[in-house]
Amino acid sequence: MKRRDEGYILIYVLVVVVVLCAIVTGVCTVALRNLQTQERSIQRTRALYEAEGAIEELIAQLETYETGVQDGDEGDAKDNFEAYAKGRPDITAASKKLETDQTTWKWEDRDVNGDTKAILLIPIATAVPDSQIVISTTLEVLPHIKDKSTTKTETIDGVEAEVTEEKYQISGAAVTYTSYQIIDQAEASDET
Partner 1 sequence: MSRGKQNKTDGFSLVEVLTAIAVLGFVVVPACTGLVLSFRVNARSEQLMRAELAVSRAVETLMAEGYDHDGDYTTRFPEVAVTATADLDSGSDPVIGYDLTVTSRGGDVEVHTYVRPAESGGGGT
Judged by CB under 8 A, the stretch of 81-89, 93-101, 155-163, 183-191 that binds partner 1 is 93-101
Segment interacting with partner 1, rule: CB under 8 A, options 91-99, 111-119, 143-151, 181-189: 91-99
CA distance to 79, 115, 178, per residue, from 143 (Å): 12, 7, 22
Residue 76 identity: D
- Candidates 75, 86, 95, 114; binder of partner 1 (CB under 8 A) is 95
In angstroms, what is the minimal distance from the CB of 77 to partner 1?
A: 20
The one among 88, 121, 143, 172 contacting partner 1 by CB under 8 A: 172
SS3 labels along 78-99 = HHHHHHHHHCCHHHCCCCEEEC
What span, in angstroms and rounded, lies between the C-alpha atoms of 33 and 56?
A: 34
Footprint of partner 1 on this chain (CB under 8 A)?
5-7, 9-10, 12-14, 16-17, 20-21, 23-25, 27-28, 30-32, 34-35, 38-39, 41-42, 45-46, 49-50, 52-57, 59-61, 63-64, 93, 95-96, 172-175, 177
